[in-house]
Amino acid sequence: MKIGIIYATGAGTTRECASLLAKQFSRHEIILQEIGKDIIDLDAFDVVIVGFSIRMGKPVKAARRFIKANKDKLAGMRSGYFICCGLVDCFEEYAQKALPKELYDSAMDIACFGGSLDYTKFKGFDRLLVRTIRNEILGGGDNADQRSDMALPTIFEINISQFADSVKQKI
Ligand SMILES: Cc1cc2nc3c(=O)[nH]c(=O)nc-3n(C[C@H](O)[C@H](O)[C@H](O)COP(=O)(O)O)c2cc1C
């Protein structure tokens, strides 16, 4: 079975998640492709998994375009979706907003793979924004950076393996 893992990333976290997901499918042929970089032909796959990260409450632009352009094709395929974001409690809201109803309803699974709020990886406005989100999670204030980062998102490897199991059961 040919499985396409198609992703869009801003700073690389979604790419990392896509690679971790690919490792879960040792018995299948996996093709990892980045939206905007690779030429993607959905007809080449039996199953497609689309992953993207969230910026300002929406999927990164490349993912928004890809979903819009391929909505009908994706709806007619076995497809699943994963999301990387900083505010993981908002995942369900992001998923509903990002995916047209027919994709949301027909998806094999939709999961949150966590995310990263390591602001040192970003510059300028992006850094400021990521730091603001981080401080919001930590409760704000001047010492937010010194407090425990237990509540901060990381890559949720357990969600990645559960998602892979759920997809494997349906293919
Ligand atoms: C400019 C910017 C805006 C962001 N906006 C949101 C947001 O609205 N909600 C959220 O949960 N996370 C937000 N994030 C956090 C990212 O979703 C998180 O860092 C994710 O791990 C990024 O994955 P990527 O490196 O694959 O793009 C934002 C990050 C940046 C840089």
Is 9 near ligand 1, meaning CB less than 6 Å away?
A: yes
Instruction: For the domain made up of 2-116+153-170, give the CATH fold.
Output: Rossmann fold (3.40.50)
Is 117 near ligand 1, meaning CB less than 6 Å away?
A: yes
Look at residue 124 in the predicted model and tell me its pLDDT.
96
Look at residue 33 in the predicted model and tell me its pLDDT.
98
- In angstroms, what is the span from residue 161 Cα to ligand 1's centroid? 22
- In angstroms, what is the span from residue 133 Cα to ligand 1's centroid? 9
Look at residue 56 in the predicted model and tell me its pLDDT.
96
- In angstroms, what is the span from residue 55 Cα to ligand 1's centroid? 5
Look at residue 141 in the predicted model and tell me its pLDDT.
58
CA-to-CA distance for 79 and 62, rounded, in angstroms? 18
Would you say the C-alpha torsion 148, 152, 156, 157 has a positive or negative sign? negative
- In angstroms, what is the span from residue 104 Cα to ligand 1's centroid? 21
In order along its 171 residues, the chain shows pLDDT tens digits of: 999 999 999 999 999 999 999 999 999 999 999 999 999 999 999 999 999 999 999 999 999 999 999 999 999 999 999 999 999 999 999 999 999 999 999 999 999 999 999 999 999 999 999 999 998 888 865 565 555 555 789 999 999 999 999 999 999
Look at residue 90 in the predicted model and tell me its pLDDT.
95
Domain boundaries of the chain, sorted by first residue: 2-116+153-170, 118-152
CA-to-CA distance for 119 and 26, rounded, in angstroms? 34
Name which of 127, 122, 163 is nearest 17 in CA terms: 163
Beta strands in the chain (DSSP E): 2-8, 29-34, 47-55, 58-59, 78-84, 110-112
Is 18 near ligand 1, meaning CB less than 6 Å away?
A: no
What atom in ligand 1 is closest to the CA of residue 115? Answer: 21
Is 159 near ligand 1, meaning CB less than 6 Å away?
A: no
Look at residue 144 in the predicted model and tell me its pLDDT.
57
What atom in ligand 1 is closest to the CA of residue 117? Answer: 19
With contact defined as beta carbons under 8 Å apart, do 155 and 117 qualify?
Answer: no
- In angstroms, what is the span from residue 169 Cα to ligand 1's centroid? 30
Beta pairing, strands 58-59 & 47-55: antiparallel
Which residue type does 87 have?
A: L
User: DSSP 3-state helix, strand, coil percentages of the chain (rounded to 5)?
Assistant: 45, 20, 30
DSSP state of 114: B
Scored b (16 or more CB within 10 A) or e, 80-108 reads bbbbbbbbbeebeebbeebbeeebeeebb
What's the predicted TM-score (pTM) here? 0.94
